[in-house]
Structure 1
Amino acid sequence: MIIELHLLQSFPVSNLNRDDVGQPKTVTFGGHLRGRISSQSLKRAARLLFQDYGLTATETGVRTKRLVSSTAELLTKRRGGEEAEAAAIAQAGLRALGFGVDDKKQLTQYLLFVGSTAAELLADYCEKDWDRLASDAAARAKAAAKTTKASNGERQAEEKQAKAKPDKQTLAEAARILDASRVVDVAMFGRMIADNKDFNVDAASQVAHAISTHAVVNEYDYYTAVDDLKPHDESGADMIGTVDFNAACYYRYANLHLDKLTENLRGDTDLVGRATSAWLNAFIDAVPGGKQNSMAALNPPETLLVVVRDRGAWNLANAFLRPIQDTDLMDGSTRALLGHFERLRRFYGNDDLRGVVAASVTADLDGLAAHEVAQTRSDLVARVLAAATKD
C-alpha cells in the first residue's frame, strides 16, 4: 500500500535551498526555468519534525561523521581518564568494525545514518574489548610514526591495507550497533554504507524535488548596513552586499510504501502506525531553513491532495509542463493539479485507489466528489490514516 502526498505551497521572497554560488536552485522543465527545492533539503526538514509527531528520540536517527567524539565522551564519563585515550579506543573500535576513520580529525570517512543510541552501543563494545582495542591503537600509532615520511601514495596504500575485515562475531557486533529496525527515518529514507552492503536499507519513502508551477527568474537584494557607533559627522554604508532570492509557488510530491516500511521495522505494527502519522504530518509542515532569519518564508501548504493506493504511483508534476500564468497562481495551480489527476484517473481507472482526500485553504476543489474534500487539516490526516489501515 502507498500513501501519496501532493502539496502546493507558495513562498514569497525566499532562498530556501541554495546552490554552490548561493542562488536559489533551479531546473528547466517544460522549456522554462523553474524554482527548485531539493528532495534532500525537504527530507531533512521533515525528519527533524518526527519527534514533534509522536516518535521518541530512540526511534529516530542521526546522520553524522562524529561517532568517535560522541563515543569518547561517553567512555570518559564511564571510565574516567583522558578523553584522548578514549578517542583512540573509539577509533580502534570503529576500525575493528570495518569503518575507515580520519586519525587527525577523528571523523568517519563518510556520514553514517544511525540510530540515536549508536554511540552508546559502540561505547559498550569498546568497553568489552578495551584491552585489545588499546593494543590495536598503540600499534597503529607506532606504525604511523614510522610512515610519517612516506609518500602520499604509500600512506594511502597502507591505509587501504589496514582497513579491517571483520570476522563473523565482529560483524554481529557491527550489525547490533547499526541496527535500524526501530529507527524510523532510516527505515523511511534508506541507508547506504559503502564498507558493507549488508547494512544497507532500502528506502520506504520517495521524495521528489519540489518545482515551481510557473516560470521564475532569480533576483537579488542589494543591501547596506551602517555602524551604529559611527560618529554623526561620518556618512556612508559600512557594509554592502547582495542576497539572491526568488518567489514561487511550488509543487511538492512524496510517497510512503507501507509494506516496505513494515518490512524495515520488522513488522512492528504500532511503530509503523506512529511512523506513518509522523511522516504525513511532518511532510505537511516541512519547510527548509535556508535564509529564514532574513526572509521568514514560513508559509504552510495551501492545497493538499493525498491518495492512498494499493500499487503504482503518480507524480503529478506534468500538470505544470505548461507554466501556470494565472494572476492567482494558487488557484490556477490547484485547477491544473486536480485536472491532471482527474484525467489520469479517468484513463487508468480507480481500481488501485483506496482513498482520495483533498483540502485547500483558498482554492476551489472543482472536480472532486464531496466525500473526497476535507474541511480541516486534522480531518484530512484522520481520513488518510483510516484509509491506509482499512482492510
Structure 2
Amino acid sequence: MRAFIELHLIQNFAPSNLNRDDTGAPKDAIFGGHRRARVSSQCFKRATRLAAAEHELLPVDQRGVRTKRIKRLLIERLAERDPEEAAQKIEGALAANGLSVDSDGKTQYLLFLGEKEIAGFAGLINEHWDDLTAIDEKASKKERKSAAPKEVTKKALALLDGGKAVDIALFGRMLADLPQANQDAACQVAHAISTHRVEREFDYYTAVDDKGGADETGADMIGQIEFNSATFYRYAVLDLNKLVENLHGDQELALSAVEAFVTAMARAVPTGKQNTFAAHNAPDFIGISVRYLAPMNLANAFEKPVTARMDRSLTEQSVERLSEADQKLSAVYGDDKDRWLYLDLTSQWPESRGERKSNLTGLATRVREVASDLLEG
C-alpha cells in the first residue's frame, strides 16, 4: 500500500546565524507578505546526515559520502599498492565512467557515493590493475573514456547502484557524467521558515590585544555579525515505497532507515556560527503524519504570521495553529485512514488527534512499527 510519512516540527532557536547567504547574513524569505527567517533544505539535509553519523544511527557501510576527493579515498583503500601507480590506475578507472580528476586531485564536482560503492570501486581497480593504463592528460574526456577497458567500464557502471546507502536512497543524487547512476529521492525536505515575522539584528563587537601596552586603550579589532531568533516550521515527506525501491527491495533496511531518519531529523541542528551563538535547541513539537492520498505541507498555517504575546510563547501558538490547519485541510483532502503520532512539549496538540509519545526514542520506534505494518499491508 502506498503511503507517505510526513515530519512536521516546530523548533525555536535562540539568537543565531545557522545558515548564511552570500553576504554572511542569516537566510530569509518573504512568505505571506512578511519577511521570515529561513534555513535551506540542503542545510537541514546535511545536518540530518551529520546527526545520523554522530549518533551512529546506521552502520558506516549503510551511509554515503559526498566528496570531490574520491581519488584520495581510493588511494587509502589501495594502501598496499604504490601510491603514484595507484593514482594513475584510479584516474583510468574514473575515466571509464566519464569522470575526470583535476590537477589538484579532485573531481570537478561533488560525488555522492555509498561506502559500499567506494569499496567496490577499489576492489575493481585491484582486480583489473594490469588492464588500467596511465591517462593522457591532453586527451579529451571522450578519448579518456574510450581508452578504458570495456570490461572495467561495464563493471564500474554496475557498481554504481547506490550501494544501499540510506542517505542516497533518502535524498537522491545526480551525477552529470553518469545519468545511469542518478537516483530519485525518496524524501523531500522543505526550507524551514519562521512562523512569525523576523527582523535582522546586528552584533557589533570589538576585541582587545592581550599583549597590548598600557597606553593602548582602543580595540584591536572591530566588526559586526548579523543574527536572528526564530520559531521554525520544518517539514519533510518520505515516500515509503520509493525508499524500499531505492534500497533494492530490502524492507528491513528501509525500516531501519525510517527509524534513523526520524531520530536524525529531530536531532539535526545546523552548524553555522555555533561557536559564536551555541544555539543547540531541540524541537518542542515533532508530529508524524501518515497520509495515503497525497502529502500535505502545512506551511500555509503560518501565511498570517504568529504574533508575540506576553501570556503565550510563539512555540505554543505555532503548534496550536498547526493543529487547526491540519484539521481544516484533512477534512477536505485527507483519507479516513490518515493518522498522527506526536511528541509535544507545549501541550497544545489535542490528545484526541493521534498517538502521543513521551520521548524521541519511543516515537522513532513506533514510527518504524507503523511503517512495517504499511509494508506488510
Asked whether the two chains share a fold, i.e. TM above 0.5, the reply is yes
- Determine the structure 2 residue equivalent to 1:98: 98
Note the C-alpha offset of 1:371: 5.0
Q: C-alpha deviations, 1:159-178, integer Å up to 9, x for none?
A: 34434157763343223442
Per-residue deviation at 1:31? Answer: 0.5
Could you say which residue in structure 1 is the equivalent of 2:124? 125
Quote how far apart the aligned CAs of 1:376 are: 3.2
- How far, CA to CA, are the matches of 1:14 and 1:371 in structure 2? 33
CA distance in 2, matches of 1:222, 1:247: 17
Q: TM-score, normalised by structure 2?
A: 0.91
Alignment-mate amino acid for residue 211 of structure 2: L
The match for 2:71 among 58, 68, 71 is 68
In structure 2, the residue corresponding to 1:108 is in which secondary structure? coil
Structure 1 runs (4+) greater than 6 angstroms displaced: none
Q: How many residues align?
A: 367
Contact 1:330–1:363 (8 Å) recurs in 2: no
The CA deviation at 1:255 is: 1.3
CA contact (8 A) 2:116 2:163 kept: no
- The one of 175, 178, 181 equivalent to 1:199 is 181
After the TM superposition, which residues 215-254 of structure 1 pair with which residues of structure 2 at under 5 Å, given as runs? 215-254=197-236
Same amino acid, percent of matched pairs: 43
Instruction: State the one-letter code of the partner of 2:318.
Output: S
| Contact 2:132–2:149 (Cα < 8 Å) also in 1 | no
Q: State the alpha-carbon separation in 1 of the partners of residues 354 and 348 from structure 2.
A: 15
Question: What are the Cα deviations for residues 167-200 of structure 1, in whole angstroms up to 9, with x where unaligned?
Answer: 7633432234423141111111101111121111
Distance 2:194 2:73 in 1: 41
The 8 Å contact of residues 324 and 332 in structure 1, kept in 2 or not, is answered as yes
Q: Which residue of 1 aligns with 2:335?
A: 350
Contact 1:308 1:388 in 2 (8 A): no
Judge conservation of contact 2:97–2:177 (CA < 8 Å) in 1: no
Structure 1 unpaired stretches of 5+:
145-157
RMSD across aligned positions (CA): 1.9
SS at match of 1:290: coil
The residue type paired with residue 237 of structure 1 is: A
1:32 positional shift: 0.6
Q: Which has the larger radius of gyration?
A: 1
Of 313-322 and 331-340, more deviation after overlay is shown by 331-340
1:264 corresponds in structure 2 to 246
Task: State the partner residue of 1:340.
Answer: 325
Shift of the 387–174 alpha-carbon distance from structure 1 to 2, 3 Å rule, reads same
Q: Residue type of the partner of 1:173? A: K
Offset of residue 123 of structure 1: 2.6
Q: TM-score, normalised by structure 1?
A: 0.88
CA contact (8 A) 1:53 1:281 kept: no
SS of 1:304's partner is strand
Distance 1:163 1:312 in 2: 46
Structure 1 letter corresponding to 2:65 = V
2:173, 2:184 within 8 Å by CA — same for their partners in 1? yes
The answer (yes or no) to whether the contact 1:63–1:113 under 8 Å persists in 2 is yes
Q: CA deviation at 1:334?
A: 1.1
- Structure-2 residue corresponding to 1:153: none
C-alpha separation in 2, matches of 1:362 and 1:29: 25
